[in-house]
Structure 1
Amino acid sequence: MRIFFVFLVLSLGINQLRSQHLTVTVVDAKTGAPIPFATVVTGKHSGLITNDEGVFAITERQLVSIKDSIFISSMGYEKVGLWQPRGETTISLVPKTFELAEVFLNANPLTATEVIEKVKENTLANYTITPSKKKIFFRQSDLNIMTKVDFGFKKSSIDELNEELFDEIAASIPRKSMYYKEAVGDFYGDYNSNKLHIDKAAELYDKNKDISMDGLSDRLERIFKENVKPDSYLKIRSGLIGTKIELDSISNENKEETAIIKAEIDTPEKTGFQADLKDRISELFEQLFFNEDSELDILEKSNRYEFTHKDYTFIDDSAVYIIGFEPKGKKKFKGVLYVNAQDYAVMRLEFENVRPLNKFGMLGISYSRSVFKGKMLFAKESKGGYGVSYMELEDGITFGVDRPLNVIEKNKHVKGRRKQNELALHLDIGTTNISKYELVVFSSENISDDDFKQASENPDVKPSYLSKYDPDFWKEYTIMEPNAAIQAFEVLE
């Protein structure tokens, strides 16, 4: 019943250090609306990206290292150059106007389906997999909402296992929990074989919620030990489904788990924060649209999607087709592809599911992977081809239980009735969990196979714990700026 979720966020220092930073809000010159995910070029193969509120920031140390102007661009807008201003400012981007006939003059213009076929033909050339060293920033945001928590107390033969206790347990379970973790580091290798060295990392969440659940767990364990005989066994039944559990086996399992936990404490961790972060990034890369194992089958199963030529635009200085797609039959995704008109590379992809990816419901148990959406942005790399500059993936599930639960203690060594104790509940529990992953690539350079072999990892690195947003934590690092909701997070004592 342990539930704890965390929320971490951080950003560049922008309080008393504002005068030493460049903090910019990028907006549309006509509407004044923020422009999210605009590209900010700080060097030949380095840069960053605005957050979903159109904001980016660069530290004084990083500004000093910039040798030329900073260029800001976004799809469909004129590029703007800045020469190292200081402080906090707003930059307006002017929508780019052009004559379609001048840019896409072609006696035989391609249909949307033909553009997609060109994308498929050029995928291997456009997304060559070569070892590289990437300076990255990663953010994970988890949100859990308990939509229902009702244990449905019916009866209990143990006085302490009463309705008041289960009401207390239900009340103590957080109805809304958040968890954030962020890290800056170097990512070596390719999409399939890689190494990660973390420079700095943090977690932000509420430890108090976990402590309260620990207290209830200890209380339940004490009640159980005081009231259940060691040579008893349990009959657990939920509707027509039942099972028998020997308490001796539970005791042995507990001893084994204790031994394992002790061994983990006494020896260095083989897995931990760094390994988990590396796995999350690898899972993100697995979802790249050109990978065979990706959930996004829009190229692999292109005949099962309807493609529509919506318009043209510019990304940086490249003319781009805007191709929309909708599912045919039972396919799951809709979205937009932005395809370079010269080399047919997908420079940007936005997608969302139109139906659950997985769904299950039977005997009072329900599960649905109901949210799967995101964005992928690609940029030219030093040796040609395209690499990821930004990835965002939101993955959400709903889970529910609406079933009776009976736990009966029996003991064949006791004279008289075998049944010693009984607890009857009717569980009605529902939860929604949404995880959002963001990966920003600030710079990328190709490396040799030997460089990759010599690259080091730091598996023992530990994140800093934060109970509230601290603008000074990342003051020496470039990250994606947190949004207003993250900046407002604080654990209430």
Structure 2
Amino acid sequence: MEKITFWVISIVISAICSNSQAQSLTATIVDSATQKPIPYVTVKLINKGVITNEEGRFSFLLNKEIKETDSLFISCIGYATLGKPIKEFTETTISLTPMAIELNPVIVTNKNYTPEEILEIVEDSILKNYNLGFAKKRVFLRETYNNRILKTDYTLKKSTIKAFNKKFIDDLISQIPKNNTVYNEALGDLYGAGDSEEQKLNLIKASELYDKSMELDFEILEEKFNKIMQENVKTDSYFKIKSGLFGTKVDADEMFESEVDSTDVAALNKKLADEKKNKEERKKFFAKYKRETMGKLYENLPVYESSDYNVLFKPGRYNLALEDFTYLGDAAVYVITFKPKRSEDYQGKLYINSDDFALIRMDFENVKPLRDFGLLGVSMKEYLAAGKIIFSKGKDKKYHLSYYDISKGIKAGFRRPLKIIEKNKNVKGRRKQNELSLKVDFDFGNINRYELVVFDETTISNSQYNSFKENNTILPTYMPNYNPDFWKGYDIIEPNQAIRDFISDTEIIE
């Protein structure tokens, strides 16, 4: 009988772990009243935390140090905190109960604070509440790039190469993908403080998820273009590329990549050496880009005076309103809205702990284009910058960044004449050989989303920071389809449904 009981308990414990082989607790957190998923909920276990994605999903890695009696705590603004031993989480859906707002003695005592006075105390308490010095942070960055071609109008004015006719250009434009989405993910340890230029990164693993068939179209078009050029253009020619007032020069040999003779050992060895060098350069560039992206997000946290979200340090530039009281667990929270009086860029909400006056969350969105440039037919508008920043209290009793989410939207246009002229100084007579002249009217747009999750942060000394040396040898692993096993054994923010459903046409083509 005891053996049977033990066997039943083992099955229950295994059921707790989503796909028991992954040894993780995976669930969706919902509102008990509406049954709708709750995004950005903090889930903590033994001072380690994860956060739910926008669909309320989370996955928590259960390592060998975790016991079934250890308690998991789930907290979110406006809901009662849920805490109980892991063994009691046997369902894949977890309900949180909305908390009724009743003014406790702290709120009653502080209720006469104006929003301006609250923010003044927040600013004065920053050094007490936050670690702004050097730290080592385990971070996960997910970048989503959605690129769109909005408009592709043109007028063919002249072409002395018959193959470059309207049909060819229409065919070229029709094959260019109008909408393409790329997902990049990276996990690593970030060393540094608030300065984006003083960050160091130890990359652990990275992936890229996109449809390579989008690239194949460009390769085919490039082959067609090169074939036409090689048949009609002299190799010692050069090109003048003009767009109204602008012009540049390109040699013909720069436009064609010559094939390496497979019997030429020296040439093959040089090509292999070049490819190896390029791969090393790619590794350096990839690590540098990730480090700079993470560093710039950290540098722009609202607890730094140089932040674009400067409401804590320059509250006089905003219209402030104490909109509401709510709770994060048992902690009462002020909810303050801010809107610019004149020229500031952002509006949003601040959630401030009424006990220690720490900013625990900020929601923000731009109220006007952050950049709006137009000159001689070239335009660029950064029309969107919106997201949220969430801080959580760590085991050192200070607040640390736990989640940073920002979406940026940009539209660009090119409305100009474009002229490509082939010239050759070695041909007798006129240097001008061929000409392709168009008037183009193209519009492009993209929305880029950056999600930075911090799972663990440890304060380090200046000497520890200085002694760490980067040695990044990681390049992202390409995935044509979403692979749920790629991040097995690592804590990340759960992918949304769009990522989980991603299937490219690459394998069909191949």
TM range (shorter): 0.7 to 0.9
- Equivalent residue number for residue 247 of structure 1: 251
- Equivalent residue number for residue 177 of structure 1: 180
- Equivalent residue number for residue 487 of structure 1: 500
- Equivalent residue number for residue 238 of structure 1: 243
- Equivalent residue number for residue 207 of structure 2: 202
- Partner of 1:130, secondary structure, is coil
- Partner of 1:280, secondary structure, is helix
2:149 is equivalent to residue 146 of structure 1:
yes
Report how far residue 73 of structure 1 moved: 0.8
Is the contact made by 1:309 and 1:324 (CA closer than 8 Å) also made in structure 2? yes
The normalised TM-score by structure 1 is 0.87
- Partner of 1:343, secondary structure, is coil
Deviation larger for 100-109 or 160-169: 100-109
* Pairing of 1:60-71 with structure 2 (within 5 A): 60-61=62-63, 64=66, 68-71=70-73
- Partner of 1:153, secondary structure, is strand
- Partner of 1:432, secondary structure, is strand
- Equivalent residue number for residue 8 of structure 1: none
Q: Tell me the distance in 1 between the aligned counterparts of 2:257 and 2:307.
A: 38
Report how far residue 484 of structure 1 moved: 0.8
Letter in 1 for 2:183: Y
Is the contact made by 1:359 and 1:369 (CA closer than 8 Å) also made in structure 2? yes
- Equivalent residue number for residue 76 of structure 2: 74
Report how far residue 399 of structure 1 moved: 0.5
The normalised TM-score by structure 2 is 0.85
Letter in 2 for 1:319: A
Is the contact made by 1:232 and 1:246 (CA closer than 8 Å) also made in structure 2? no
Q: Tell me the distance in 1 between the aligned counterparts of 2:248 and 2:504.
A: 43
Is the contact made by 1:351 and 1:374 (CA closer than 8 Å) also made in structure 2? yes
Letter in 2 for 1:200: K
- Equivalent residue number for residue 328 of structure 1: 341
Q: Tell me the distance in 2 between the aligned counterparts of 1:318 and 1:79.
A: 10
Deviation larger for 223-232 or 359-368: 223-232
- Equivalent residue number for residue 94 of structure 1: 97
Change in Cα spacing, 1:157 to 1:374, as seen in structure 2 (3 Å) is same
Report how far residue 67 of structure 1 moved: 6.0
- Equivalent residue number for residue 11 of structure 1: none
Change in Cα spacing, 1:312 to 1:108, as seen in structure 2 (3 Å) is closer
2:202 is equivalent to residue 189 of structure 1:
no
* Matching residue within 156, 165, 169 for 1:166: 169
Is the contact made by 1:21 and 1:87 (CA closer than 8 Å) also made in structure 2? no
Letter in 1 for 2:216: I
Deviation larger for 170-179 or 180-189: 180-189
Report how far residue 243 of structure 1 moved: 2.8
2:57 is equivalent to residue 52 of structure 1:
no
Letter in 2 for 1:302: P
Deviation larger for 46-55 or 261-270: 261-270
Q: Tell me the distance in 2 between the aligned counterparts of 1:131 and 1:67.
A: 35
Change in Cα spacing, 1:294 to 1:263, as seen in structure 2 (3 Å) is farther
* Pairing of 1:108-127 with structure 2 (within 5 A): 109-127=112-130
Letter in 2 for 1:80: L
- Partner of 1:213, secondary structure, is helix
* Pairing of 1:277-426 with structure 2 (within 5 A): 277-411=290-424, 414-426=427-439
Q: Tell me the distance in 2 between the aligned counterparts of 1:261 and 1:283.
A: 36
2:265 is equivalent to residue 265 of structure 1:
no
- Partner of 1:330, secondary structure, is coil
Letter in 2 for 1:157: T
Identity of aligned residues (%): 40
- Partner of 1:161, secondary structure, is coil
Letter in 1 for 2:368: R
Report how far residue 404 of structure 1 moved: 1.9
| 1:6-63: CA deviation from partner (whole Å, max 9, x where unpaired) | xxxxxxxx985589542211111111121111110111x3111111011112245368
Is the contact made by 1:359 and 1:368 (CA closer than 8 Å) also made in structure 2? yes
Report how far residue 394 of structure 1 moved: 1.1
2:459 is equivalent to residue 471 of structure 1:
no
Report how far residue 273 of structure 1 moved: 2.6
Change in Cα spacing, 1:19 to 1:129, as seen in structure 2 (3 Å) is closer
Q: Tell me the distance in 1 between the aligned counterparts of 2:289 and 2:142.
A: 13
Q: Tell me the distance in 1 between the aligned counterparts of 2:40 and 2:26.
A: 15
Q: Tell me the distance in 1 between the aligned counterparts of 2:289 and 2:271.
A: 20
- Equivalent residue number for residue 10 of structure 2: none
Letter in 1 for 2:203: I
Q: Tell me the distance in 1 between the aligned counterparts of 2:215 and 2:256.
A: 26
2:160 is equivalent to residue 157 of structure 1:
yes
Change in Cα spacing, 1:329 to 1:56, as seen in structure 2 (3 Å) is same
Deviation larger for 80-89 or 165-174: 80-89
Change in Cα spacing, 1:98 to 1:408, as seen in structure 2 (3 Å) is closer
Aligned length: 475
| 1:198-234: CA deviation from partner (whole Å, max 9, x where unpaired) | 3322111122222321232233234334433455554
Letter in 1 for 2:249: I
| 1:375-426: CA deviation from partner (whole Å, max 9, x where unpaired) | 1111223334321011111122111112221223344654454432221112
- Partner of 1:461, secondary structure, is coil
| 1:445-471: CA deviation from partner (whole Å, max 9, x where unpaired) | 223334334445441112221111111
Q: Tell me the distance in 1 between the aligned counterparts of 2:458 and 2:67.
A: 17
- Partner of 1:105, secondary structure, is helix
Change in Cα spacing, 1:298 to 1:171, as seen in structure 2 (3 Å) is same
Deviation larger for 140-149 or 59-68: 59-68
- Equivalent residue number for residue 10 of structure 1: none
* Pairing of 1:434-449 with structure 2 (within 5 A): 434-449=447-462
- Equivalent residue number for residue 216 of structure 1: 221
Deviation larger for 453-462 or 277-286: 453-462
Q: Tell me the distance in 1 between the aligned counterparts of 2:316 and 2:354.
A: 22
- Partner of 2:298, secondary structure, is helix
Is the contact made by 1:138 and 1:439 (CA closer than 8 Å) also made in structure 2? yes
Change in Cα spacing, 1:242 to 1:393, as seen in structure 2 (3 Å) is closer
Is the contact made by 1:26 and 1:91 (CA closer than 8 Å) also made in structure 2? yes
- Partner of 2:498, secondary structure, is helix
Is the contact made by 1:233 and 1:244 (CA closer than 8 Å) also made in structure 2? no
Q: Tell me the distance in 2 between the aligned counterparts of 1:350 and 1:62.
A: 37
Q: Tell me the distance in 2 between the aligned counterparts of 1:15 and 1:379.
A: 26
Letter in 2 for 1:238: S
Is the contact made by 1:144 and 1:432 (CA closer than 8 Å) also made in structure 2? yes
| 1:95-139: CA deviation from partner (whole Å, max 9, x where unpaired) | 122422633123771111221222222223323323323222221
Letter in 2 for 1:82: K
Q: Does 1 or 2 have the higher relative contact order (CA < 8 Å, sep 6+)?
A: 1
Q: Tell me the distance in 1 between the aligned counterparts of 2:51 and 2:221.
A: 45
**CA RMSD for the aligned pairs?**
3.0
2:446 is equivalent to residue 433 of structure 1:
yes
Letter in 2 for 1:160: A
Give unpaired runs (5+ residues) of structure 1. Answer: 1-13
Change in Cα spacing, 1:411 to 1:379, as seen in structure 2 (3 Å) is same
Letter in 1 for 2:77: M
